[in-house]
Structure 1
């Protein structure tokens, strides 16, 4: 789906990849409805967009079912239509094993990453089905297919997003709505800080050259939508590990274990 002239919702629009998605979609001629739980971050996105008249911001907790459905109704009431939804918002868990992870942390990760995506799809899909052309993009993760020690719940939430998206694609096969799942590797964003997790890794890390920039990640996510790709792997690390995992899953798991055990989080 070409972005020009379309009305597109972006979650997590207050920072990182979400902000870049907003800015690039505006450049392509879309009207964008940016949702985020952080109002100040959304206002900063507005500044970055130079107060573009095609940008509208909404403070929304996507883990709140009623709030998401109210958001969808409000967007339709105020703007008449929605042509696309990019479910980008997400958090990670603390880098600890499942046995040490508190249930409130588990619930938070699942509620935002999986249920937040599910709520957005459920809330907006009836409106998307009324459009001549529409698209849903759900952002999963490399952790959704490759087990990462200390990120098992995060990985489970993103694996659920992947299967949800692919199942939805099958269900919508004979409709006007296309569906994409984007599977990124590491991206140089503040996701750890935004997830309330202490960390020490910096952009000068020796692994930084393997990371996608938020700008490049947003470009590739939009390209997946434009080309109507069902599944897209983005980032050098993601593509390499996907290949290795397909060839020899045990080898790939051992490699990621070594990387994680040698890294500061």
Structure 2
């Protein structure tokens, strides 16, 4: 495993830093003395995150749509203008899309893949040269519980998160022996706003959509602050993979034991009071 990955005095770039896990990661990194470049499409959320951080650190804010190829391509120059280098890239930004495959429009499917997968790929491509300049750097890619299992109604989201998982593992093998390591993260149900901000098919009735959002949100229980600590402790230990939450650990074990038959078992478990 080697020496710990020390975060004090380093510089980290976090996408999706305007709330949820991204904000919690920014706060946890700041407590460790890490300088921060915060990126999010939500400028107001970015400002609030920055307001919550302690003084004495180098903090920059960058409004960014990770689904925008040109915006990502121009970001390294903006980071270099403020920070002397980059040691940690956290690809956290993501969106959700409800509905079965038949219900989901192709444009919405492409929208999600463009953010959840291509955003990770393009951010990694854009910042790998800068990370290579650091003597000890790391890329942290957030997959999901749905990068381990694939429930009905999540064809787009699961496809994107399985893609992030595969990309991260292959990239880690390619970078083995270099100064850049890779950690892939599989959060379970973290209490963020993702269920309520998910895009839904246009033909779903409002009451059906509200019920679906409420049901999805009921599974999101782990505090983002706790998730952030689990993730950063894994980064400090140079872990290649981290399961965040009891639900993620249970599901990962069940999928390993029953890779083709886990879903009926999980369905029965979820129906228990």
Same fold by TM-score greater than 0.5: yes
Aligned length: 257
2:107 maps to 1:104: yes
Residue aligning to 2:170: 167
Residue aligning to 1:241: 251
Partners of 1:140 and 1:66 in 2: how far apart? Answer: 24
Q: Among residues 73, 86, 104, which one is paired with 1:69 in the alignment?
A: 73
Partners of 2:88 and 2:112 in 1: how far apart? Answer: 24
Structure 2 CA distance for partners of 1:252 and 1:52, relative to 1, 3 Å: farther
1:101 is paired with a residue of what secondary structure? coil
Cα deviation for residue 244 of structure 1 reads 1.0
2:152 maps to 1:149: yes
Q: Among residues 185, 197, 201, which one is paired with 1:194 in the alignment?
A: 197
Cα deviation for residue 190 of structure 1 reads 0.4
2:239 is paired with a residue of what secondary structure? coil
Cα deviation for residue 232 of structure 1 reads 1.2
Cα deviation for residue 69 of structure 1 reads 1.6
User: Does structure 2 retain, via aligned residues, the 8 Å contact 1:91–1:112?
Assistant: yes
1:178 is paired with a residue of what secondary structure? strand
Cα deviation for residue 52 of structure 1 reads 5.8
Residue aligning to 1:181: 184
2:235 maps to 1:225: yes
Give the unaligned 5+ runs of structure 2. Answer: 201-209
1:135 is paired with a residue of what secondary structure? strand
2:153 maps to 1:139: no
2:90 maps to 1:86: yes
Q: Among residues 114, 117, 120, which one is paired with 1:117 in the alignment?
A: 120
Cα deviation for residue 189 of structure 1 reads 0.6
Cα deviation for residue 192 of structure 1 reads 2.1
Cα deviation for residue 42 of structure 1 reads 0.6
2:18 maps to 1:14: yes
Q: Deviations over 1:36-55 (max 9, x none)?
A: 00001111112222566422
Structure 2 CA distance for partners of 1:92 and 1:226, relative to 1, 3 Å: same
Residue aligning to 2:207: none
